[in-house]
Amino acid sequence: MMKLHAIGMAVRHTADFVIDRPAGSGDDLLIIFKTPAELIIGGEVLRAQAGCAIVYTADMPQYYRAFGGIYVNHFMHFEGYEQAEDTPLPPAGKLIALTNIGEVEELLRMISRTRMGDEKHMETSLDLLIKLLMIKLSEGAREPQLSADMGAHHAELSALRAELYSSACEFRGVGQMAKRLNFSVPYLQQLYRAQFGVSCYEDILAARTKTAKYYLRATTLTVKEIAALCGYENDVCFMRLFKQRTGLTPTLYREKRGLDGLDMSEIV
């Protein structure tokens, strides 16, 4: 059975915060970093970005500290990691980046609420919730190097995406996006999907469709003119893809959603 010892969410510390336990904490420990941190694992210094996590077993050395300012993390001290043979587990002593941080945080909140209650079967409930948490950590884990790269390029990627949605016509394809950041196409695609959860190509189409909706509803430009403003080489391709994504031709969309129905959320 997995047992909870202590749990804390969004715990804040000053910029000089450091944990150094050469012999471990005596129990299993989950740390989820909400701000950048620096760790030492196996003699190697690693940089963790927000959204990364690590599980330490009872006697595993622990060293992590704030990096660059105020430090915030979630933590959970527990027991039973090494005995949970039938439960999928995240790797111990390895920095991982989480693709499902929302699910993980919701489970932490459920565990915290259950611990504070007076349920008759609280220990059984906590055992099941912690096991589910381990499963979700295992499912959402990805290689930390990708996280480090993504963190290093977070601002560049965010700026690129903002430019895409504000000037869809500037990007004719993924290759042009990669060239803008001096990345290879595969590398950009890997980082882009990790950060935004969508492929570059899908986001190009989404940005073009959003831009087209605005021009169809807010202007009297022709379909051909709008196609050019959205980055399409011809209006036939534009009409085909627009209908695939909205279920309507550009002309029919304009008729059904004219100026009177303008939705400000679609203005880019």
Give the residue-averaged pLDDT of 202-223. 94
Any idea what DSSP says for residue 91? P
Mean pLDDT of 173-188: 90
Give percent above pLDDT 70 in the chain.
92
Mean pLDDT of 185-212: 88
pLDDT tens column, 16-30: 999 999 999 999 999
Residue 268 reports pLDDT greater than 70: no
Which residues does residue 20 pair with via DSSP β-bridges, in sequence order?
63
Residue 142 CB-half CA count within 13 A: 18
Token pair in block for residue 48: 């963790």
pLDDT of 49 over the 90 cut: no
Q: Scan for tokens 């906590």, then name that residue.
A: 126
Q: What pLDDT is stored for residue 149 in this prediction?
A: 57
- What pLDDT is stored for residue 142 in this prediction? 83
Cβ-based neighbours of 113, under 8 Å, separated by 6 or more = none
- pTM higher than 0.75 for the full model? no
The set of long-range contacts for 153-160, using a CB threshold of 8 Å and a minimum separation of 24, is 153/181, 153/191, 154/49, 154/195, 156/181, 157/181, 157/191, 157/192, 157/195, 157/196, 158/195
pLDDT of residue 2: 95
Tokens at residue 219, please? 């202007």
pLDDT, one tens digit per residue, over 105-156 is 999 999 999 988 776 789 999 999 999 999 999 998 887 654 555 556 777 8
Q: So what's the pLDDT on residue 73?
A: 96
pLDDT of residue 261: 47
Burial grade of 154 (CB within 10 A; 0-12, 13-18, 19 or more): middle
Distance CA 73, CA 98 (A): 14
Domains of the chain (ranges plus CATH)? 3-148 (2.60.120.280), 168-266 (1.10.10.60)
